[in-house]
Amino acid sequence: MPGARGVAAPLMVSSLLLHLAGAGLPAGCLRVSDILSCSDLGLEQAPTWLPVTTATLDFNHNRLVRLEEDSFAGLPNLVTLRVAHNRLSSLAPGAFRNMSGLRHLDLSSNHLYKVDNHYFQELVGMEELLLFNNHIARVESNALIGLRGLRKAYLSHNRLTDFPFFSIQEHNHPFLVTLDLSSNRILKLPLEDISALPPSVQGGLFLHNNSLICECAMYGLFRTWEQKGFVSVCDYRADHTCLLYGEPRAAVQFLQHSRFFENCTVKALSLIGETVSSLQVYTGDSVLLECPSSLKGHQLTYQWVSPHQEYIVPPGNSNAMRMYGNGSLEIAAARVEDSGVYWCMVQDHRQSRNQTHEVNVTVVDRHHEVEPFNTGFTTLLGCVVSLVLVLVYLYLTPCRCWCRKPPPPPPATPSPAYECSGQPSILVPTPPATTEGPGRKVSNSKHVVFLEPIKEAQNGRLREAAMSDHARPHAPRGDSASFFSDSTSIVP
């Protein structure tokens, strides 16, 4: 039939072209449109020929040991490359040559030991870099500088002891919002370099589950991030630990047990260079927050970040908050929910400089302001009152025995002891108590249960019938320690 032949001819041609297009690929590779998957095939090296139209390439779960020079040079349209779960220990110079359009690179779960300067020099358009679950012990100072479009970098579950934070300043990485360094071996943090990072980077800097040594400056940094509501701290409070005196067996969850740092809070804020001012206002009042800066010029731009992580730029977000050209922020009618830390940043784009300023605003209800409660003074006052009551009880309580003469004894019997003896009073540190059970006395204050030994004996032994269950000793119980295990990297 002529019609049938006309339909079959294009199908045969397309099938032939598809066969020729995949003729150079390893057996088992799947190709759908611009997606090519050669995962879990036991490959020990990348194929020498790949379809030029490939945009997504998947080599996960193979046995690749090294990426050679120009391994993907013939793929100008490649956007996503996945080489996770292989045996890569190094990347040859020029392995990503002619791949400026690559946006997502996954090298996780390999055997990489360091990140050299030449690894990613050609990837100027890189947005997401996955390097977690390797053996990386060092990141060279210039390894990430060329990645100006980088938004997210994941290096958790490695062996890093430090990181070049100075190389990811805002003028080098203006779009960086996530840097995951959790579950490494970092001992100390370069606080000056970290505090110089823009808040967008600090808010996405994950440092939990490291080997940090406890110190005041470190504690103050994380407490400040917690007050700002940074997700990197608030979502992983229990996983932020530090080592007291550097002892590995003395790990402390410092965001949950802050008693070890009670004398550090004020000192820490000054060490990390925080300039936080405090302001208390009443509900309904108008508040004007200034944004002071030493930067001068007409190229300055201002922006505020509210406690709810809301960005505010001129002229403001609503009638409730107005922003002026000089950087001042006005809260028209303050509400209780407006309380928190307001952060202002001044940027000089010409010189690539910026400065920050913070204001801690506390909005108090005018009719329900709570007076501060001084616990130490109250405790001291309670002790003094208790002492006065004890003295009054000892020396001013009238005794009927001393105020009246006892009746004479009967003449026919020997003189017994008087009704009230002259024995000295025994001072008991607790008020008279009622007995609820053998050996258990409860004070009148109802706050403390006092236990006293049972004095009754039977044939030289304590009476077993009088022993209550709660009077017997119990074995101490220890709290089980919690340990965070990030089996998967945090990839929003």
Q: What is the per-residue pLDDT across 456-467, written as a single tens digit (0 to 9) for each?
A: 444 444 444 444
- Residues 238, 240: Cα–Cα separation, whole Å: 6
Share of the chain above pLDDT 70, in %: 68
Residue 98: DSSP 8-state? T
Average pLDDT over residues 343-370: 74
pTM given for the model: 0.57
Which residues are within 8 A (CB) of 451 and not within 5 positions of it... i.e. 6 or more apart? 439, 440, 441, 471
Whichever domain contains 360, its CATH number is 2.60.40.10
Give yes or no: residues 305 and 157 share one domain: no
pLDDT at position 263, please?
66
Q: Are residues 260 and 337 in the same domain?
A: no
Report pLDDT for 451.
38
In this prediction, residues 286-302 reach a mean pLDDT of: 77
For the chain, the average pLDDT equals 75
In a domain, 460, yes or no: no
pLDDT at 229 over 80: yes
Give the pLDDT band of residue 397 (cuts 50, 70, 90): low
**What distance in Å separates the CA atoms of residue 171 and residue 148, rounded to the nearest whole number?**
9
Same domain, residue pair 280 and 265: no
Residue 447 lies in a domain: no
Domain of residue 260, CATH code: 3.80.10.10
With b for 16 or more beta-carbon neighbours within 10 A and e for fewer, the 444-466 pattern comes to eeeeeeeeeeeeeeeeeeeeeee
Mean pLDDT of 329-357: 80
| pLDDT higher than threshold 70 for residue 479 | no
Shared domain check, 293 and 195: no
pLDDT digits (tens, 9 = 90+) for 200-215: 899 999 999 999 999 8
For residue 399, the model assigns a pLDDT of 56
In this prediction, residues 256-264 reach a mean pLDDT of 74
- Of the pLDDT bands very low, low, confident and very high (cuts 50, 70, 90), residue 67 is very high
Please indicate, yes or no, if residue 347 is contained in any of the structural domains: yes
Residue 356 lies in a domain: yes
C-beta separation of 100 from 76 below 8 A: no
User: Residue 180 has what pLDDT?
Assistant: 97
The pLDDT of residue 255: 87
- The yes-or-no verdict on residue 114 having pLDDT over 60 is yes
Q: Are residues 82 and 55 in the same domain?
A: yes
Reported as a single tens digit per residue, the pLDDT across 44-57 is 998 888 999 999 99
Closest CA to 103 of 131, 72, 121, 127: 127
Write down the pLDDT at residue 406.
59
Task: Tell me, yes or no, whether 310 and 259 share the same domain.
Answer: no
Confidence category of residue 73, pLDDT binned at 50, 70, 90? confident
Same domain, 191 and 319: no
Range 62-69 average pLDDT: 93
Question: What are the DSSP calls for 112-178, one per residue?
Answer: --EE-TTTTTT-TT--EEE--SS---EE-TTTTTT-TT--EEE--SS--S---GGGG-TTT-TT--E
User: Of 302, 333, 364, at which residue does a domain stop?
Assistant: 364
Q: Above 70 in pLDDT, residue 231? A: yes
Mean predicted confidence (pLDDT) in 404-416: 56
Question: Residue 423's pLDDT band (boundaries 50, 70, 90)?
Answer: very low
Return the pLDDT at 204. 94
Averaged pLDDT, 323-351:
81
Residue-level pLDDT at 38 = 95
**pLDDT value for 295:** 76
Q: For the segment 429-438, what is each residue's pLDDT rounded down to a tens digit?
A: 444 444 444 4
Last residue of a domain, one of 218, 249, 271: 271
Q: How far is CA 319 from the centre of its chain?
A: 34
Residue 372 within a domain: no
User: In this model, does residue 88 exceed pLDDT 90?
Assistant: yes
Task: Give the pair of three-digit tokens for residue 201.
Answer: 């980077």
The answer, yes or no, to whether residue 273 has pLDDT greater than 60, is: no
Q: Which amino acid is at 319?
A: N
Q: Which two tokens stand for residue 399?
A: 């005794």
The whole-number pLDDT of residue 469 equals 44
Is residue 136 over pLDDT 70? yes
Residue 52 in any domain: the answer is yes
22 vs 195, more confident: 195
- Comparing CA positions, the residue from 314, 312, 317 lying closest to residue 326 is 314
CA angle 387, 388, 392 (to 5 degrees): 120
- Extract the tokens encoding 55: 């945009």
According to the model, what pLDDT value does residue 19 have?
41
Give the per-residue pLDDT at 356: 80
Average of pLDDT values for 104-115?
Answer: 97
Report the domain count for the chain: 2
Q: Are residues 174 and 199 in the same domain?
A: yes
149 belongs to a structural domain: yes
**What mean pLDDT comes out for the span 220-229?**
85
- pLDDT of amino acid 285: 76
Domain that holds residue 234: 24-271
pLDDT of residue 262 exceeding 60: yes
Domain end marker among 301, 330, 364: 364
123 and 152 together in one domain? yes
Per-residue confidence (pLDDT) for residue 429, from 0 to 100? 41
Instruction: Answer whether residue 447 shows pLDDT above 60.
Output: no
pLDDT of residue 374 exceeding 80: no
Classify residue 212: in a domain, yes or no: yes
Task: Examine the pLDDT at 396 and tell me if it is beyond 50.
Answer: yes
Give the pLDDT confidence score for residue 401 in this predicted structure. Answer: 52
Q: How far apart are CA 109 and CA 86, in angstroms?
A: 7
Tokens in use for 18?
Answer: 């598809």
Domain shared by 228 and 262, yes or no: yes
Please give the pLDDT value at position 107: 97
Which has more pLDDT, 403 or 152?
152
Range of 235-239, 426-430, 484-488 with top mean pLDDT: 235-239
Residues 212 and 356 in one domain: no
Q: How many degrees, rounded to 5, is the angle at CA 160 between CA 158 and CA 165? A: 125
Same domain as 64, residue 45:
yes
- Please give the pLDDT value at position 470: 40
223 pLDDT band, cuts 50/70/90, is confident
pLDDT band, very low/low/confident/very high, at 178 (cuts 50, 70, 90): very high
